[in-house]
Amino acid sequence: MLIAMQAHGRLRSIDGLRAVMCIGVALYHFVPYFFKPGDASYEVSRYFSYFTDIFAILAGIFSGKYIRERWSFSAYGGFLCSRLSRIYPLHIVTGGFYIAVLIAISAGLFSPQDQSRYDPSAIIPHLTLMHAWGIGPDMALNYPSWMISAIFACYLAMPIVGKLYQTSKWLVPAVVIAAIALCSYVSSLSGVEVTRAQFVGIGVLRVFPSFMFGIVLGNMEKIPAHRSVPIIMLLVSLVAAFGLGMPLTGAIRLIVLYVMVYSIFVADKLSIRTPLNIGLLQYLSRYSFGVYLWHGVVATVLFRVLLKPVLGNDSLVIGSQAPVYAIMLLFLGLVLSFGIAFVSLKTVERWGSRAFDALFDRRAALSRPEPRITPLS
């Protein structure tokens, strides 16, 4: 049996999932600095790649709510400005750090360990948020921002999505199925699975199906009435995702994660408390977007620049010999990432959003929600 969905309060488990997501993505990138393939910590961290796809789903959920409640072509400009004023200022600041490093490298001040990370051809695609569209190297500069570029492409597709939703609510779920099939096929032509499409410069293929699934969740009108349904679905999806001996990849990963996030979403709507409801995760969730973009900078400065002289060698892979020390350094990286995100939310992001709004004069457009309400916060 299904019941009509009622809007009530915040999605607390989804908020908690945002916090876990940003921690997981940061650790996914941090752990290989200290542990090598075969180490238990390294192998466990490979599962954290799931959180990249979850990030895209969360972005779609809140965009889906916008379509359901206030979609119109005339308001689209306000929606786009609202999203850009949230994501673009911090993207520019974190990317600007790497552009400054690139300039220093060009001036001969030092030599990078990974020259491809500082490819000058990446500057224009990054500034225009097009680096995950097959334009320029999307893993250069602040590499996690390929996701921001891919989500921006999804925002540009919103007029089509809105029209589809107005035509028939069943067209959007159909697009999700078609997107998984099409994006998987196109990725395979480049020799990778869809969940690794960003590594060949077409990260938008990885993100689009998950963003569209988030749209479907954000527009759900009915949910299962029985409280056991999301619990059973969540347990099954967790076993499938983490209990098969290796991380899932490709379309099957996307489907399992969709079931998982759907279960958490429905649990919120049925007021079922999950471990994601704890207060600490609720607090940390507001800094998820900042952690997502700043953790790459933290890794570069802390792990590549500061730690190597302290350790006295070129390799930081010390996990096998000193696992406790390595874990402490990982924790330090997380603490610094959250600390910078805390300052960033109150300074760079706030001031940048205001400057962006003033530049585009949105007094007659859609008012911008508070940053902590959005999935990209």
Mind spelling out the 3-state secondary structure of the chain?
A: CEEECCCCCCCHHHHHHHHHHHHHHHHHHHHHHCCCCCCHHHHHHHHHHHHHHHHHHHHHHHHHHHHHHHCCHHHHHHHHHHHHHHHHHHHHHHHHHHHHHHHHHHCCCCCCCCHHHHCHHHHHHHHCCCCCCCCCCCCCCCHHHHHHHHHHHHHHCHHHHHHHHHHCCCHHHHHHHHHHHHHHHHHHHCCCCHHHHHHHCCHHHHHHHHHHHHHHHHCCCEEECCCHHHHHHHHHHHHHHHCCCCCCCHHHHHHHHHHHHHHHHHHHHCCCCCHHHCHHHHHHHCCHHHHHHHHHHHHHHHHHHHHHHHHCCCCCCCCCCCHHHHHHHHHHHHHHHHHHHHHHHHCHHHHHHHHHHHHHCCCCCCCCCCHHHCCCC
pLDDT above 90: residue 373: no
Please tell me which residue, 366 or 97, carries the higher pLDDT value: 97
Q: What is the pLDDT of residue 212?
A: 94
Indicate whether this model's pTM tops 0.85.
yes
Stretch 252-256: mean pLDDT: 97
* Percent of the chain surpassing pLDDT 70: 89
List the single range of 200-209, 238-247, 310-319 with lowest mean pLDDT.
Answer: 310-319
pLDDT above 50: residue 365: no
List the single range of 151-155, 197-201, 361-365 with lowest mean pLDDT.
Answer: 361-365
User: What's the pLDDT band for 69 if we cut at 50, 70, 90?
Assistant: low
pLDDT above 80: residue 10: no
Q: What is the pLDDT of residue 313?
A: 59
Please tell me which residue, 336 or 170, carries the higher pLDDT value: 336
